[in-house]
Amino acid sequence: MSTIITNPLQQILATTKSALYYTLFFSCLVNLLMLTVPLYMLQLFDRVITSQSYETLLYLTLIALVALIILTLLDILRSRILHRIGHWLEERLGPLALKNSLDNNLLGGNYGKQCLSDIASLRQFVSSTNIFAFFDAPWIIIYLIVIYILSVPLGIISTLGAIILLILALLNERYTRANSKQANEKNNQLQQLIEEAFVQAETTQALGLLPTLSANWSKVSNQALEQQTKVSDQSAAIVAIGKFIRMGLQVLILGAGAFLVIQGSLTGGGMIAASIIMARALAPIEQAMGSWKSFLNTYHAYRRLQEYLGTPSPRHTAINLPTPIGALKVDHVSFASSQHSAVLLQDINFTLPAGQMLAIIGPSGAGKTTLARLLVGIWPPSQGTIRLDGAEIYHWDQKTIGNHISYLAQESFLFHDSIKNNIARLETADDKEVIEAAKLTNIHQLILQLPEHYNTEIKPRALPAGLKQRIALARAFYKNPKLVILDTPETYLDEAGLLSLQQTLKQIKHTQTTVIIITQQPSIAALADKIMVLKQGKVFNFGDTATIMQQWQGNTHES
């Protein structure tokens, strides 16, 4: 009965079995043809020189050259197969890892970026020559048997040498494993520190944090270098000892072979052949010792990927659903962050018919942004459900949800790409729909004033913050989604930008798009059909705009 493989990493690796079997088959042929040179030497010294036959010498040489050409072609072929396996693994694992990484990051995890790095490590190892040591390892026994056939004493010397090198390899693994793991952890910590410094470059410079940041970087960097130095020192010492043993074995096997030749129990050709075969038998062990650090890094990467990709996603995507009309129902939703036990939202319950606009207001820390993230399916509710046309938003197919639900985050982000591609969400841009979105948000003329118009690249500090915000707003309305969540869209907007935003929202009300706006601007909230007041994670008030606005303005005047 076959075992059902459920881990995605193992499933993908299982599909490479046939290619790996071909690689193993070609490796067997390569190792078999590796006997060409020792057998040629054996025949050369024991037959050709004694018989002084030029014809035999010619044919043996031609056969050896043809065998070596075939060996070279097979070696190239197995290398190409492994390169393509590595490329295919990254191609298949990359999208899955990227999706899981985003989910992991949104839920408070910190493995996301490391996941992609681990996939690269797996690909590099599979595509490198280091992996050949594992394909060639079974041939150690076969080579030793051939040496025993030539001479039992030389076979014993070779076997003892292989055992000693194997022990050294195990010692290398034992002494470097712990330090290698610690070095990887410190390198990951160092990478995270560097990324945070670049992201917060302006804050770091303005607050004078560079000396402290530099000191922290130096501290972590020194710790990482210390661990790496330990690994390198231990590995280098063991590899050097291994080389000494290998060269010493060459001396011993030639010396012992010469002794046996003098005694008449071994030919000169047999002595040379045994020396070459022993060197080939010990090569995989020596190669494994030299690449052990790379193997350990790949092994740790594989285990992390196996655990990470094997963790089931909280999203259980259903079948593709038809285009929604935009009816939203939030049914007794509560939410507590996975990073702490505090309840951020409690028993949020409301219904918003399709095509209506809801404004959410309240003090800072009331849970408005948290609710917005739940409404677009970034986080799953701890309790309750959020449904769009009866289907839970969090479990919508991620490939199609972006066509129906749109979001403007509190801190909007634009990609380093053209304005056109940013509005089109990096898809193949439909010029007509891009221009429609830009006109809807009243930035079409502003874009045309730029030197390259819609092809202008968005770079750090290249465009005004207000224009970037309005480009992000145009992206939110691209292709007329059925549900739009706007978290403080007035951020960075001047008076003209606020007036433009109001005009956009007035036009949207005629498109049957369901809109939820988080705002602190009374003029923006007044455009909504309903208003919700959030306080301390609870619905403090919910009703028609006119009623809530009177209470809000009354409280404002009293304060």
CATH number for the domain spanning 538: value is 3.40.50.300
Q: What are the angstrom distances between the C-alpha of 190 and each of 106, 158, 338?
A: 22, 45, 25
Task: State the Cα–Cα distance between residues 21 and 24, nearest whole angstrom.
Answer: 5
Task: State the Cα–Cα distance between residues 190 and 34, nearest whole angstrom.
Answer: 45
Do 470 and 516 fall into the same domain? yes
Task: State the Cα–Cα distance between residues 534 and 551, nearest whole angstrom.
Answer: 14
In a domain, 303, yes or no: no
Residue ending a domain, choose from 290, 319, 345: 290
Q: Quick one: tokens of 59?
A: 């044919």
416 by Cβ neighbours in 10 Å (0-12 / 13-18 / 19+) ranks as exposed
Do 123 and 143 fall into the same domain? no
Q: What are the angstrom distances between the C-alpha of 351 and each of 202, 384, 420, 535?
A: 42, 13, 35, 19
Do 417 and 513 fall into the same domain? yes
Domain interval for residue 34:
1-128
CB 382 within 8 A of CB 335: yes
Task: State the Cα–Cα distance between residues 532 and 551, nearest whole angstrom.
Answer: 12
CB 519 within 8 A of CB 505: no
Residue ending a domain, choose from 290, 314, 336: 290
Q: Rg of the chain's alpha carbons, rounded to an integer? A: 34
Res 103: pLDDT: 64
Q: What are the angstrom distances between the C-alpha of 253 and each of 43, 54, 157, 274?
A: 19, 30, 7, 8
CB atoms within 10 A of CB 61: 13
Residue with tokens 């224009």: 467
Res 63: pLDDT: 92
CB atoms within 10 A of CB 293: 20
Q: What are the angstrom distances between the C-alpha of 149 and each of 60, 145, 153, 302, 356?
A: 22, 6, 10, 41, 89
Residue type present at position 510: H
- Tens of pLDDT along the chain (559 residues) come to 444 456 777 777 777 788 888 888 998 899 899 888 888 888 888 788 878 888 888 988 999 999 999 999 998 998 888 888 888 877 777 777 777 666 666 665 555 567 777 787 788 888 777 788 888 888 889 999 999 998 899 999 999 988 888 888 777 777 766 666 666 666 666 666 666 666 556 555 555 656 666 776 677 677 777 767 777 777 777 778 878 888 888 899 989 989 998 988 888 888 898 889 998 888 888 777 777 777 777 787 788 777 777 665 556 555 566 778 888 999 999 988 766 667 888 988 999 999 999 999 988 888 888 898 888 888 888 899 998 888 888 877 766 777 788 888 888 788 888 888 888 888 887 788 888 888 888 888 988 888 888 888 887 667 788 888 888 898 988 888 888 999 988 888 888 888 998 999 988 888 888 999 999 888 888 899 999 999 988 888 888 888 888 876 665 544 4
In a domain, 229, yes or no: yes
Q: Is the dihedral of CA 297, 303, 306, 312 positive or negative?
A: negative
Residue with tokens 């490198």: 128
Domain holding 206: CATH number? 1.20.1560.10
When divided into structural domains, the chain yields a total of 3
Residue ending a domain, choose from 128, 163, 178: 128
Which residues are within 8 A (CB) of 219 and not within 5 positions of it... i.e. 6 or more apart?
none
CB atoms within 10 A of CB 349: 12
In a domain, 307, yes or no: no
Which residues are within 8 A (CB) of 364 and not within 5 positions of it... i.e. 6 or more apart?
none
Res 2: pLDDT: 45
Q: Quick one: tokens of 160?
A: 């003892």
Record the pTM: 0.66
Residue 369: which of 537, 186, 189 has the closest Cα? 537
Q: What are the angstrom distances between the C-alpha of 451 and each of 83, 120, 419, 435?
A: 44, 39, 12, 17
What's the angle, vertex CA 149, arms to CA 144 and CA 154, rounded to 5?
60
Do 115 and 60 fall into the same domain? yes
Residue 80: which of 90, 88, 91 has the closest Cα? 88
Q: Quick one: tokens of 512?
A: 């049957």
Do 389 and 497 fall into the same domain? yes
Instruction: List phi, psi (to 5°) of 373.
Output: -70, -35
CB 238 within 8 A of CB 172: yes
Residue type present at position 354: A
Do 179 and 118 fall into the same domain? no
In a domain, 310, yes or no: no
Please name every residue paired with 515 in a beta bridge, in sequence order, or none if there are none.
357, 484
Residue 90: which of 16, 192, 191, 180 has the closest Cα? 16
Query: What are the E-state strand segments in 48-155?
Result: none
Do 190 and 173 fall into the same domain? yes
Q: Quick one: tokens of 464?
A: 């005004």
Do 103 and 174 fall into the same domain? no
In a domain, 438, yes or no: yes
Do 166 and 112 fall into the same domain? no
Residue 87: which of 49, 50, 128 has the closest Cα? 128
Do 200 and 243 fall into the same domain? yes
Q: Is the dihedral of CA 234, 235, 240, 244 positive or negative?
A: positive
Residue 359: which of 485, 259, 464, 465 has the closest Cα? 485
Please name every residue paired with 334 in a beta bridge, in sequence order, or none if there are none.
383
In a domain, 154, yes or no: yes
Residue 514: which of 470, 468, 474, 476 has the closest Cα? 476
CB 143 within 8 A of CB 278: yes
Q: What are the angstrom distances between the C-alpha of 7 and each of 86, 97, 306, 315, 365?
A: 19, 13, 7, 16, 40
In a domain, 297, yes or no: no
Angle of helix 152-199 relative to helix 292-310, nearest 10 degrees?
60
In a domain, 295, yes or no: no
CB 418 within 8 A of CB 454: yes
For 492, which DSSP code? T
Do 431 and 451 fall into the same domain? yes
Do 429 and 496 fall into the same domain? yes
Which residues are within 8 A (CB) of 97 and not within 5 positions of it... i.e. 6 or more apart?
115, 116, 119, 305, 309
